[in-house]
Amino acid sequence: MDLIRLEQITKNYGNPGSDITTHVLKGVTFSIQEGEFLSIMGPSGSGKSTLMHIIGLLDRPTSGKYFLRGEDTSQLSDDQLARLRNKEIGFIFQSFNLLPRISVLENVVLPLSYVGLSQAKEEELALKVIRAVGMEHRINNMPNQLSGGEQQRVAIARAFVNNPSIIFADEPTGNLDSKSGQQVMSILQELNHQGHTVVLVTHESATAEHGTRMIKIHDGKILSDEPIINRLLADREGELGK
Amino acid sequence: MSLQNLKANKLRSFLTMLGIVVGIGSVIVIVSVGAGAQSLIVNQVTSVGSNLVGVLPGKSEKNSPPASIMGIKITTLTFSDAQALAQKNNVPHAVAVSPMVRGYEQISWKNHNNYFNFSGVTDKYIIVQNVAVAKGRFISENEALNMGKSLVLGSQVAEDLFQGQDPIGETVKIKGVSFQVVGVMEKKGSAGFENQDAQVFLPLATAQKMILGINYITVARIKIDDTKNIQPSINDIEALMRARHRIPGPDQDDFTVENSSQAIAALTTITDAIRYFLASIAAMSLVVGGIGIMNIMLVVVNERIKEIGLRQALGATKRDILNQFVLETTVVSLVGGIIGIAGGVSISVLVALIAKKLGYNWDLVISWQSLAVSTSISFLIGLIFGIYPAKKASRLSPMEALRYE
Ligand SMILES: Nc1ncnc2c1ncn2[C@@H]1O[C@H](COP(=O)(O)OP(=O)(O)OP(=O)(O)O)[C@@H](O)[C@H]1O
Ligand SMILES: [Mg+2]
């Protein structure tokens, strides 16, 4: 069974104060298999983020069908979607989206706080993923005391602390220099290697080439959908500044 | 979880709490001080007794004060008038009648001397004026009627003239007449327009004949048994006085009847107005406090909506979000409310203590209405503006909340 199946997904935005609607997605159909590293590539404004928000269950399509493990997500309530996101999905955003006034550790614990574990268990799990991204020396720091690359590594730790099946990353390297970008891509490849499905959104082909499959999207429509033959492997030397 | 968030946003939590503390505290203090000030004013008047009727010589003109107050000597009121007023069959509801004369003379003891006000009174004075002697006794009826040479000191006179020594049994002189001090009055403070502490009391007849050289009285105060009998008694008094003075109708009256309950009613009206004025200031301070809270909350709405979007993306349900905000604002409002009540009550108590120390007859009044109203309004404001961003964000999809600017 497909992990995710999209059928003729569209998304329109009505502009306030006029009856012109913006058609952002114009009928998108594809599926994602368990264990894939899918890169969605396209120019700015083509609808990549919109598409990712829909697949990530952060937003609902205007029309079309979305099946997650065969289940029609349009039938689910907002709260059921929230629980699905909590269990199945991890997000990495271009702008990190860490809460500014709580520590690294508390940020990583956030998704677990909606699961209902003991505090000791929460911290144990959080420390494990923080160690995996090499940030264990900064657990009590506030996000603004970290560099951009470090903040993104914390955000990645938060994205997989719940052991989700799918990790979504929207331009995760967009705000980083190439070395930090390499570290982030290396962690994503490692997570994919461990069995997490990864969906990466980017406009740079060099970043997209780290995946196993590439969907090119333009003006809300799929241009091509092909496996990546010569997959790039992120520079492990750059990883974690070792 | 939620409380961790409160700690993380210390400044915001503190400012919100401050708005609530100041709002509740100031309402309690303002209302309490207003009520205390009213009690002070009313106590001053009622300490004389609210059931008093005064008979003054001379007719009071509608637009001018009684002639006797203007310093014009009117001789139409006599001791026998007072005796007639005291008879049960004339004024059935009169408890006691206190006829008085007043003057200002030098009083000397050994080589100390000074000028003091004095009142010539009978034994009924302490009943009518609702006062008591602290030491010794008051002037007896026999002394009052038969030119006794006893004298009672007001508390302040006792201090000024005797400077700590026991005055009882000492002899003082007024206009060459020797009096024996038989008592010292309790300290009372100024009541109405008289300062009882700063005067001395002489037997009525002695004051009239030997000191002032007159045979009329300046006022007769009558204590009525119950407030509801004041008006019938005034009618009795007027009828009696007209009969005794052979006056055909009210426009020829040579006397004036006054009533302290009217004065109290007038004062209460004024002090009520002041209280309502203060209460409305308090209400405004609550509104201002509320606007303060509102501002702080609105400033952080955007930031919070992004936070809510993120939490939803990470798996929080709408209920999780709402619970968090309700808990947060409840804790802030509750702690702020408790501090506000504690602070407001302590300041009110402090004001009352200081006022009492300064000798004012000040009641500590903390109305539960002011506690309830200010607490619930502040609580409501805290709750509404704390939950507002959560409600607003829950109408957005997580994606819209995340993108919210
Ligand atoms: N809420 C909205 N209302 C109206 N139009 C919107 C809204 N959100 C997105 N759009 C439009 O949808 C189009 C696609 O936006 P989207 O963010 O998906 O692009 P993108 O491919 O991620 O671009 P980028 O690479 O710059 O991030 C844009 O033209 C944008 O203006
Ligand atoms: Mg985008």
Considering the domain architecture, whether residues B180 and B243 belong to the same structural domain is answered as yes
The residue-averaged pLDDT of B212-240 equals 89
How confident is the model over B167-187, as a mean pLDDT? 92
Q: Which residues line ligand 1 (CB under 6 A)?
A: A 13, 22, 24, 42, 44-50, 203
pLDDT tens sequence for chain A (242 residues): 899 999 999 999 987 777 788 999 999 999 999 999 999 999 999 999 999 999 999 999 999 999 999 999 999 999 999 999 999 999 999 889 999 888 999 999 999 999 989 999 999 999 999 999 999 999 999 999 999 999 999 999 999 999 999 999 999 998 888 888 999 999 999 999 999 999 999 999 999 999 999 999 999 999 999 999 989 988 765 544 43
| A144 inside 8 A of chain B by CB | no
Q: State the pLDDT at residue B231.
A: 87
Inter-chain CB proximity A58 and B1 less than 8 Å: no
Q: A4-240 sits in which CATH class?
A: alpha beta
Q: Does residue B59 belong to any structural domain of this protein?
A: no
- Is residue B317 a contact partner of residue A82, using CB atoms and an 8 Å limit? yes
Phi, psi of B109 (to 5 degrees): -135, 125
With pLDDT > 90 as the criterion, what percentage of chain B qualifies? 31
pLDDT at A241: 40
The average pLDDT across B173-185 equals: 93
Tally of domains in chain B: 2
Q: What's the whole-number average pLDDT of chain B? A: 83
For residue B64, tell me if it sits in a domain: no
**Judgement on whether residues B10 and B79 belong to the same structural domain of the protein:** no
Interface contact A110-B319, CB threshold 8 A = no
| Percent of chain B residues past pLDDT 70, beyond the cut | 87
Indicate whether B293 and B390 sit together in one domain. yes
In this structure, the residue with its CA closest to atom 12 of ligand 1 is A24
Confidence (pLDDT) at A1: 84
Q: Do B317 and A113 touch (CB under 8 A)?
A: no
Higher pLDDT: B269 or B156? It is: B156
- In a shared domain, residues B232 and B313: no
Chain B residues touching residue A101 (CB < 8 angstroms)? 8-9
Query: Strand, coil or helix: what is A219?
Result: coil
Which pLDDT score is estimated for A30? 96
Give the pLDDT score at B204.
94
Question: Which residues of chain A are within 8 Å of residue B307 when distances are taken between CB atoms?
Answer: 99
| Whether pTM exceeds 0.90 | no
Question: Where exactly are the structural domains of chain A?
Answer: 4-240
**Structure-block tokens of residue B291:** 């606007």
| The pLDDT of residue B99 | 94
At B220 the pLDDT is 92
Same domain for B246 and B105, yes or no, is yes
Lowest mean pLDDT across A183-197, B7-21, B100-114, B342-356? B7-21
Measured in Å, residue B105 CA sits from the centre of ligand 2 at 100
Q: What is the pLDDT of residue B43?
A: 73
Contact A101 B400 (CB under 8 A): no
Q: What is the ipTM of this complex?
A: 0.92
| Cα–Cα distance measured from residue A90 to residue A163, given in angstroms and rounded to the nearest whole number | 8
pLDDT at position B189: 66
What domain range includes position B227? 75-253
Domain for residue B123, yes or no?
yes
What pLDDT does residue A83 have? 93
pLDDT tens figures, B320-373: 888 887 888 788 888 888 898 999 999 999 998 998 888 777 888 888 887 888
B294 and B270 within one domain = yes
Residue B58 lies in a domain: no
Higher pLDDT, A4 or B163: A4
Whether residues B12 and B91 fall in one domain: no
Of residues B192 and B360, more confidently modeled = B360
Bridge partner list, B94: B224
- B138 and B194 share a domain? yes
Q: Can you tell me the distance from the alpha carbon of B69 to that of B187, in angstroms, rounded to the nearest whole number?
A: 26
Q: Give the domain-ending residue among B253, B283, B315.
A: B253
Residue of A nearest to B312 (CA): A82
What is the separation of C-alpha B139 from the centre of its chain, rounded to a whole number of angstroms?
31
A102-106, B192-196, B219-223, B253-257: range with lowest mean pLDDT: B192-196
pLDDT at A144: 93
Query: Which candidate in A11, A55, A99, A156 is best for mutational testing of the B interface (most B CBs within 10 A)?
Result: A99
Whose C-alpha lies nearest to ligand 1, atom 9? A50
Q: Based on the fold, state whether residues B345 and B368 are members of the same structural domain.
A: yes
Total length of chain A = 242
Same domain, B249 and B277: no
Of residues B158 and B22, which shows the higher confidence score? B158
- Residue A47 CA: nearest ligand 1 atom is 18
Q: Choose one of B224, B253, B282: the last residue of a domain.
A: B253
Q: Give the helix ranges, DSSP H, for B167-247.
A: 204-206, 230-245
Name the residue with higher pLDDT: A128 or B18: A128
Atom of ligand 1 nearest to the CA of A46: 21
Q: Are B162 and B271 in the same domain?
A: no
pLDDT tens by residue, B250-281 = 888 888 888 776 677 777 788 888 878 887 88
Backbone φ, ψ for residue A14 (5° rounding): -85, 130
Q: A with B: how many residue pairs have Cβ under 8 Å apart?
A: 67
Comparing alpha-carbon positions, the chain B residue that sits nearest to A161 is: B314
Q: Write down the mean pLDDT value for chain A.
A: 92
Q: Are residues B315 and B226 part of one domain?
A: no
Could you tell me which chain B residue has the CA closest to the CA of A100? Answer: B8
pLDDT of residue A239: 47
Q: Which of B115, B225, B100, B94 is nearest to B161 (CA)?
A: B115
